Amino acid sequence: MYLIVGLGNPEEEYKRTRHNMGFDVVNEIASRYMVFLERKKFDAIYGEAIIEGQKVMLIKPQTYMNLSGVAVKQFVDFYKVPVEQVIVVYDDMDIEKGTMKIRKKGGAGSHNGMKSVISQIGSEGFPRIRIGIGAPLHPHDRINYVLEKLSKEEYTILEQGIQKASMAIIDMLKSGIDHAMNQYNETIRKETR
């Protein structure tokens, strides 16, 4: 079983903000595979599906970003999912808007949601997909930047990263993480030259 966890904030006011890219990717995959994200358990909303022959749980923690790991740990522990099969998707200011990057493992950087996940499950050894949201003009404005409502124009740019991340996750399930990294990380390098 794979857990695909999108990080974000649960309330209506946070929709279409940069910090909810993880939720948007989970919603996109759910829409593509007609998965209803209506079940509630372990401080999360989730749905189950078979995607590319793999049993998958699509999960949106409802604990707010900074406590995302609380929900993730409960799913990992209850279903005994190896950390290598927990795919976490989240926004990243260090990546160009409209792009995404897959990593097999690593630290949290400055992302509080990822800090929570790593702390709760006690490992950095899980794959993650970072959706590029670009950086604010003023570094001290990071909180307002990630929580700001997006214009239609900017969301359209970020949506490219959401689409790429969704396709990359499907490729990971079908052909493995190395294949997905070769396909999608290489695409980004070509596009940003």
Which sequence positions are flagged as catalytic?
19
In residues, how long is the chain?
Answer: 193
Contact yes or no for 167/102 (Cβ under 8 A): no
Q: Which residues of 119-147 are buried (b: 16+ CB within 10 A; e: fewer)?
A: ebbeebebbbbbbbbbbbeeeeeeeebbe
Cβ contacts of 135-144, under 8 Å, gap ≥ 24: 135/93, 135/94, 136/93, 142/93, 142/110
Structural tokens at position 35 = 């998965």
